[in-house]
Copies of this chain bind each other. A is one copy, B any other.
């Protein structure tokens, strides 16, 4: 049982390794109703013209424009009203010289008509309509396909499906939407002292935290958490649990703090796959493992997070979340973690020699570093976000500006 790390790596090198992890994207078709916040896996072309027919853009009367050329308020032109066509109805008559058909916004334009005069510029008189103004050819008519032509590119592969884009898909009557499959992430808390919430808290035990924290953080990355479970902190238990999760695309373990769980995972990886990272020069979160496991002829990615809840969440946010967002096909823009530049409320002296992640509370627009160890739950309760400190920084004076990444995800 070794306590030593294989090789402590710089976070930049770890980022490069993560960037090159093997992952095959899958696609699926889902109902439009379920497509919110999913990502298109294909370009979407218009399957119909929009609008699909020549229609009225205003409430009014469909006319032959030449009939209105001499019309004015003083000398209105009188046209015979043939019928009334509401939106959704089909005109039965044809507009001919000296006649008109009443239409409302969205009504098909009757044959023969080449303009719509707005209702405001007309007066009704018995069976006739008095036209008080001339209308140019094509006025208030939206031509078939003038908005979108059949075959035109509407949305591109990799676009995030937001409410407005759902509007576009529904406009062409799309029922099933081609999207990238959401990666499935199995989350395992390891540790003999860890129990589920429905168990009685006996002396020496603690309630599971990380499988809840990480499962929900996984959701914020466009992935689906599965199998949030607890494994005993020994070689056989962890190996068996990992082997159970054949349906997971990614496995994330955390803890157990006893007997160096990192080492247990390392032993499992040494036998079933390979260790790519074991130890990162960061604080908190140094004892992090990244590896590949051979399963059914494929290489499955495993992240082994530290056991302390703050460490686990920080390593997840800094290293794993960007990767999950990438494999979930979220665009660079969606993938970027949002931050706010704010001033420190007090001097802060970071740890030497390691990149550091500092939980903070924001009050009155100022950043208050939370000075507790990474086992502290109270720091999670207080935290609004965190900032990063490069490894060579010796001191951050009060009032220094830091980029605070939000934990609201």
Within 8 A of B (CB), among A82-138: 86-90, 104-108, 119-120
- Residue pair B163, A259 in contact (C-beta under 8 Å): no
Q: How far is the CA of A171 from the CA of B381 in the complex (A)?
A: 11
- Residue pair B258, A192 in contact (C-beta under 8 Å): no
Q: How far is the CA of A51 from the CA of B203 in the complex (A)?
A: 11
Interface centre among A160, A172, A256, A377 (most CB of B within 10 A): A377
- Residue pair B36, A216 in contact (C-beta under 8 Å): yes
Say yes or no: A105-B378 contact (C-beta < 8 A), given A89-B192, A170-B208: no
Instruction: Collect the chain B residues with CB atoms within 8 Å of residue A106's CB.
Output: 191, 193, 206, 256-258, 307
**Cβ-neighbour of A170 out of B88, B164, B193, B207 (below 8 A):** B207
- Residue pair B162, A59 in contact (C-beta under 8 Å): no
Instruction: Collect the chain B residues with CB atoms within 8 Å of residue A242's CB.
Output: none
Within 8 A of B (CB), among A162-204: 162-175, 191-194, 197-198, 201, 203-204
- Residue pair B197, A32 in contact (C-beta under 8 Å): yes
Verify if A210 is at the interface (C-beta below 8 Å from B).
yes
**Cβ-neighbour of A206 out of B52, B194, B204, B214 (below 8 A):** B52
Interface centre among A175, A206, A333 (most CB of B within 10 A): A206
CB closest residue in chain B, given A50: B377
Q: How far is the CA of A108 from the CA of B257 in the complex (A)?
A: 13
Instruction: Collect the chain B residues with CB atoms within 8 Å of residue A90's CB.
Output: 203-204
Verify if A212 is at the interface (C-beta below 8 Å from B).
yes
Verify if A217 is at the interface (C-beta below 8 Å from B).
yes
Instruction: Collect the chain B residues with CB atoms within 8 Å of residue A119's CB.
Output: 3
Verify if A250 is at the interface (C-beta below 8 Å from B).
no
The number of chain A residues touching the other chain, given as a range, is 35 or more
- Residue pair B209, A171 in contact (C-beta under 8 Å): yes
- Residue pair B170, A205 in contact (C-beta under 8 Å): no
Specify how many copies of this chain sit in the oligomer.
2
Within 8 A of B (CB), among A211-241: 212-214, 216-217, 219-220, 233
**Cβ-neighbour of A193 out of B88, B207, B408 (below 8 A):** B88
Q: How far is the CA of A59 from the CA of B209 in the complex (A)?
A: 21
- Residue pair B207, A87 in contact (C-beta under 8 Å): no
CB distance from A120 to the nearest CB of B (A): 8
CB distance from A405 to the nearest CB of B (A): 12
Instruction: Collect the chain B residues with CB atoms within 8 Å of residue A170's CB.
Output: 197, 207-209, 212-213
- Residue pair B212, A166 in contact (C-beta under 8 Å): yes
- Residue pair A377, B168 in contact (C-beta under 8 Å): yes
Say yes or no: A192-B86 contact (C-beta < 8 A), given A59-B3, A197-B174, A256-B106: yes
**Cβ-neighbour of A408 out of B162, B169, B219 (below 8 A):** B162
- Residue pair A209, B167 in contact (C-beta under 8 Å): yes
- Residue pair B376, A147 in contact (C-beta under 8 Å): yes
**Per-residue contact bits, chain A 355-392, to B (CB 8 Å; 1 contact, 0 not):** 00000000000000000110111101101000000000
Q: How far is the CA of A376 from the CA of B167 in the complex (A)?
A: 11
- Residue pair B212, A259 in contact (C-beta under 8 Å): no
Q: How far is the CA of A198 from the CA of B173 in the complex (A)?
A: 8
Instruction: Collect the chain B residues with CB atoms within 8 Å of residue A407's CB.
Output: 162-164
- Residue pair A380, B86 in contact (C-beta under 8 Å): no
Interchain Cβ contacts under 8 Å between A and B, 17 examples: A52-B201, A52-B205, A59-B260, A87-B257, A88-B205, A88-B258, A142-B375, A147-B375, A154-B377, A155-B381, A163-B214, A163-B216, A163-B313, A163-B409, A164-B407, A167-B210, A168-B380
18 additional contacts (CB under 8 A) given A147-B372, A165-B381:
A57-B373, A87-B192, A87-B233, A87-B257, A87-B258, A88-B193, A88-B258, A105-B258, A108-B204, A155-B381, A163-B313, A164-B313, A167-B213, A168-B381, A170-B212, A170-B213, A172-B207, A174-B197
In the complex, the 6 A-B pairs of residues with the closest C-beta atoms, listed nearest first: A88-B192, A87-B258, A88-B193, A105-B257, A167-B213, A104-B258
